[in-house]
Amino acid sequence: MKRKICVVVASRANYGRIKAVLKAIQKHPKLELQLILGASALLERYGDLREIIKKDGFKVNATVYMILEGENPVTMAKSTGLGLLELPTVLTRLKPDITLTVADRFETISTAIASTYMNIPLAHTQGGEITGSIDESVRHAITKLAHVHLTTNENTAERLRKMGEDPKKIYVTGCPAIDLIEDADLTIQEDFIDKYKGVGAEIDFTKPYIVVLQHPVTTEYGKGFDQINQTLQAIYELKIPTVWFWPNVDAGSDDISHGIRKFREAHKITFMHFFKSMEPEDYLRLINNCKCIIGNSSSAIREGSYLGIPAVNLGTRQDGRERGPNIVDIGYDKEEIKNAIKKQVKHGRYPKSTIYGDGKAADKIADVLAKCELNLQKKITY
């Protein structure tokens, strides 16, 4: 009898960080993949993943709409609640042996609570990592609910042990985001705009360009408009061709988007192009060939460290996250941002760091899911 592993993919970021595992589960002789697609992964505004996931050869067992529109703290909390109303219906039908949830978003804690209250063992990736924002709290809360920890490296494993998790349930597998890099052909593709449309200026991807991803910081709700304006102004003055991604669905997303739109209305910008989302491999190709990543996305640190891409990390969202040498950390200040970008572009590529894994995580994770002992009752170790 195969173990049924139910994976909830709830955003474009989720997908890139778990796709390699989906493939590994799919081909594992003792596992059966169940895929739930939910939240912003179903929404056109954030990049509907359905077509991509279908093309990648995965069957979606259930779709779960759960985003209450509003992009503020109230709707983020209520969306978590909607996830908790919806997911038990689906889990009742799919009856998985294990639920696998990714990282630290509100959809992730919906999944974690639904699964554990329904007595379905919960596996979790990215446990033991550190950041800022509410994600920091939520990630550790999910750790306390999870039965199986699929963690990035020995440091995060040690942190999970310190937190009182059973050492026998902590598996150092590396992050499967790195597997994608190993598996992909990162030769540049020049058809990003043709493929993903988006809005803004044409970008010549054979020439130097930079990439921006700046998300709202939920614990600094209300400051996003000013924060994004510093970045916009800095890059406007630098006049480097820029690929800019719209922010994710967190509270404050609207402030960021609004800031971007307002800036575009006020300035003629001939060197920025805006995308909602890309296939994970295309995103890797995009950043692999860029001169610098700017913003507060974990991808600059996680995938960026392995690729050695120079990156400028802004503000507190990634505070404490383990990072390679490719990162320069600064605050929300136009001049600082300009200087840091200039410095990083000039520096060029950094050596590869394997703090987030060596590209072999997915098979290890599939093996753990196939063989791990499953006990419902958790108990702190001290």
Question: Residue 376 is encoded by which pair of tokens?
Answer: 């419902």
With CB under 8 A as the contact rule, the residue among 1, 29, 44, 168 that binds a second copy is 44
CB count in 10 Å sphere of residue 198: 18
Count CA atoms closer than 13 A to 339's CA, side-chain side.
8
Pick from 295, 318, 312: nearest CA to 350: 312
184 binds a second copy (CB under 8 A): no
Residue 119 CB, nearest distance to a second copy (Å)?
A: 6
Per-residue binder mask for a second copy (CB under 8 A), 262-301, x = binder = x--x------------------------------------
Question: Which C-beta is closer to a second copy: that of 9 or that of 142?
Answer: 142
Residue 106 CB, nearest distance to a second copy (Å)?
A: 7
With CB under 8 A as the contact rule, the residue among 56, 319, 333, 358 that binds a second copy is 319
Per-residue binder mask for a second copy (CB under 8 A), 15-34, x = binder = --------------------
With CB under 8 A as the contact rule, the residue among 86, 107, 282, 303 that binds a second copy is 86
Per-residue binder mask for a second copy (CB under 8 A), 199-218, x = binder = -------------------x
Three-state DSSP state, 333: coil
Residue 344 CB, nearest distance to a second copy (Å)?
A: 26
Scanning 4-12, 104-112, 233-241, 355-363 for contacts with a second copy by CB under 8 A, the matching segment is: 104-112
Q: What one-character DSSP code corresponds to residue 315?
A: S
With CB under 8 A as the contact rule, the residue among 99, 108, 143, 318 that binds a second copy is 143
List 327's β-bridge partners, or say none: 311
Q: What one-character DSSP code corresponds to residue 11?
A: S
Q: Which residues of 13-46 are buried (b: 16+ CB within 10 A; e: fewer)?
A: bbbbbbbbbbbbbbebeebebbbbbbbbbbbeeb
Question: Residue 17 is encoded by which pair of tokens?
Answer: 């960080």
Pick from 300, 297, 296: nearest CA to 331: 296
Pick from 363, 352, 358, 355: nearest CA to 153: 355
376 binds a second copy (CB under 8 A): yes
188 binds a second copy (CB under 8 A): no
With CB under 8 A as the contact rule, the residue among 141, 186, 238, 330 that binds a second copy is 141
Binding residues for a second copy restricted to 237-266, rule: CB under 8 A: 251, 254, 257-258, 261-262, 265
173 binds a second copy (CB under 8 A): no
Question: Which C-beta is closer to a second copy: that of 20 or that of 272?
Answer: 272
- Tell me the residue type at 124: H
Binding residues for a second copy restricted to 114-133, rule: CB under 8 A: 114, 116-119, 130, 132-133
DSSP string, 250-271: STTHHHHHHHHHHHHHHS--SS
Number of residues forming the site for a second copy (CB under 8 A): 76
Distances (CA, A) of 341 to 119, 236, 295, 309: 49, 12, 11, 12
